[in-house]
Amino acid sequence: TQLLEQSPQFLSIQEGENLTVYCNSSSVFSSLQWYRQEPGEGPVLLVTVVTGGEVKKLKRLTFQFGDARKDSSLHITAAQTGDTGLYLCAGAHGSSNTGKLIFGQGTTLQVKP
């Protein structure tokens, strides 16, 4: 069974602080997506990383895919209250080509003013 372990599961910080969320697996993924989800809504795609070692930036968010394509991280600089939400990483397994995603359990981020 493929598993994606996210850490931490819960994070509460003050506005302006930096944070990093980690997503780790023993399996290799052909791609990895990061989503943000608000209560009662579906996940919203933030980024897709495909190449080992790839780094993508989305304003204050920096995403990195590990060299071996088994892990990823999300770094937020100068967090804002609007960043509050559930952050999910999800990997697509390369060999099956079904596109189905394996999700981590999520990191709940609370940014306090």
| The one among 42, 82, 95, 113 contacting another protein by CB under 8 A | 42
Give the x-and-dash track for 65-94 against another protein (CB under 8 A). Answer: -----------------------x-x-x--
Does 64 bind another protein (CB under 8 A)? Our answer is no
Q: Are 51 and 37 in contact (CB under 8 A)?
A: no
Tokens linked to 99: 């596109």
Q: Which residues, other chains included, contact 109 with Cβ-Cβ below 8 Å and sequence gap of 6+?
A: 11, 12, 13, 19, 21, 76, 79, 83, 84, 85, 86, 87
The stretch near another protein (CB under 8 A) out of 13-21, 35-43, 59-67, 69-77 is 35-43
| The one among 14, 45, 51, 53 contacting another protein by CB under 8 A | 45
Does 103 bind another protein (CB under 8 A)? Our answer is yes
| The one among 8, 16, 17, 44 contacting another protein by CB under 8 A | 44
Binding-site ranges for another protein (CB under 8 A): 4, 6, 30-31, 33, 35, 40-45, 48, 50, 88, 90, 92, 98-106
